[in-house]
Amino acid sequence: MGNEGKVKVGGIMANGGLATVSILSLPDRPDVPGMVLHAMGKQNINIEFVVLNVDIEGNGNMTFCIDQKYLEAALEVLEGIKSLIEAKGISYHPNVATISVFGPHFRERPMISGLMFNTLGTVGINVLAISTSISSCSCVIQADQAEDALRALHETFEAPHQVTKFAP
């Protein structure tokens, strides 16, 4: 397929070798996100993707991605602070990837996220988490679906740059 009819974007990026960790039913307190991220940083665990939301009952749910090799250490850190942050549960997915479509100028192009997620849904890829910014739209998917996701997104978008990093 040629580039006619495709929507131009700056690029498409995939990053594998990741795990997600979710902290469930947190109290809606201003100190909790900082406590969690600071505890991870003190153990040299880099956060590559984070999303936090508060549900209708006022409970927060925080999900973040880390390098898969730090999953055990991250779970230990969270068990150590679980009572301080009053989390009711912790869950994880050990083998995920992030997929991103990036800008420029997504502020002026509201159709990008809809196209991205319609494309992924059409090829049967389930999205585990979404995070966006003014210049990118990113999601977490199962790692074994990353190649299919990239192929499908390249059918939808004209992307001059592709960056792919998968764990060895």
**Cα dihedral 16/136/128/164 (nearest 10):** -20
Domain 19-94 has CATH 3.90.79.10: no
* Cα distance from N-terminal residue to C-terminal residue, the chain: 31
Banded pLDDT at 166 (limits 50, 70, 90): low
For the chain, which residues make up each domain, given as ranges?
7-15+96-165, 19-94
pLDDT digits (tens, 9 = 90+) for 115-139: 999 999 999 999 999 999 888 999 9
pLDDT digits (tens, 9 = 90+) for 36-58: 999 999 999 999 999 999 999 99
Q: Is it the case that residue 5 has pLDDT exceeding 80?
A: no
What is 7-15+96-165's CATH superfamily? ACT domain (3.30.70.260)
**Cα dihedral 93/94/97/98 (nearest 10):** 50
